[in-house]
Homo-oligomer: A and B are copies of this chain.
Amino acid sequence: MIAVKGGICAAEGFMAAATAAKIKSKRRDDMAMIFSEKPCVVAGTFTSNVVKAAPVLWDRELVDSGRPVHAAVINSGIANACTGQLGLDICKEEADATAEAFGQVISADSVLLASTGIIGLQLPIEKMKNAISEMVPKLEASEAAATAASKAIMTTDTTNKEFALEFTIGGKKVHLGGMTKGSGMIHPQMCTMICFLTTDLSITKELLQKALSENVVDTFNMISVDGDTSTNDTCVILANGAAENPIIDTEGEDYETFKTALLQVSKTLAREMAADGEGASHLFTVHVTQAKDKQEARTIARSVVSSTLTKAAIYGRDANWGRVLCAMGYSGASFDPNKVNLYFVNDIGKIEVFHQGVPVDFDEDYASEILGYQEVTALIEMHEGTEEATAWGCDLTHEYVNINADYRS
């Protein structure tokens, strides 16, 4: 299993394009398209927010229907959430315009849609129709096209996020690539903000969905930037079968190989989203080990990584471990604080700050040095079992407040 270039175009048969539709009148690309001539089976997970954006409703219908998918159209700038019937009508117009731009070679009901940006504004559909017809002739199966697409879906992200792997299944080379965007309103409860994964694997829709659903629990659902679960969270994977491996239709060795690849790609992208959280100066990882069960490990890791006070302390390079204990305590998990060991650890070093229920008299200067590095992990040993979980987040900074005190202007 090796990392390769090409992002969403790494898999055979996938093309991408991007363009500037000027949705929020910025001078950068704000629309992207993904296309596969071969029909794709598709799996998806979507936000658990009761307030679901129009494109989330559109995609969920398409994924549930079992119809093949050929294309995805994504925009940044406006989220098409809280937009009523008009928002849903605009989704239909986007898909119709896409089918038309392809000369009706593909049908409107084979087009996935995704939007990210401001809630409550209507999309400028005429500008978008123009952008869609511009993108179709620009479609390319190239690294550059994949990167352009991953940049077009950014909002407050400071870097684009793409990753791909190559591996072998049934004697055939298979690829799995993806792109994703953060970086605020990130506290996924089903799946992350917007993530598109593509693979040339041949697999049934049922197993593709099973692999994705099991995967998000330990990857995209374990990151948090600000505790706000978006209206638009979408993670979809398209599989077009171009690798020509014997179709995966049972949970044997091939399925496990694919799941391993999916986990690696998803973890890489999830971690990048956390590191690029709005205003972040630290990637903050919480690793819970020796928990009595997997769910307890996840609950505690997620609670600590989401704690406002802990995040502010990480920003201040302050080894204020009491806030970590406090966040473990209100997580909802039941455990014995007197069994807990807590460390801060990264490439600079490792320091124990809490041992079996009592504070360790640690070297504050060394702790500050460790916390001064751009990545830091709180390692929590529960001494209650053998399960573990990891959550990824970031610190709470002045810049976060700057970004969010006036996001709309």
Contact = CB atoms under 8 A, between A and B. Distances in A.
A322 B118 contact: yes
Contacts of A48: 330
Q: Which among A229, A357, A405 has the highest number of chain B CB atoms within 10 Å?
A: A405
9 contacts: A51-B325, A82-B325, A119-B320, A120-B359, A185-B326, A227-B307, A230-B326, A231-B325, A318-B407
Contacts of A66: none
A149 to B, nearest CB: 25
Interface stretch (A135-143, A256-264, A392-400): A392-400
A374 interface: no
Contacts of A185: 309, 323, 326
Closest 8 A/B residue pairs (Cβ)? A119-B322, A316-B405, A51-B329, A312-B404, A229-B330, A49-B329, A84-B358, A316-B406
Choose among A120, A184, A328 the residue with the greatest number of B CB atoms under 10 Å from its CB: A120
A77 B327 CA distance: 20
Contacts of A250: none
A308 interface: yes
Given A50-B334, A227-B307, 7 more contacts: A118-B322, A119-B325, A312-B401, A313-B407, A316-B405, A320-B407, A320-B408
B120 A308 contact: no
A147 interface: no
A338 interface: yes
Interface in A3-57: 48-52
B227 A308 contact: yes
B83 A358 contact: yes
A315 B400 CA distance: 12
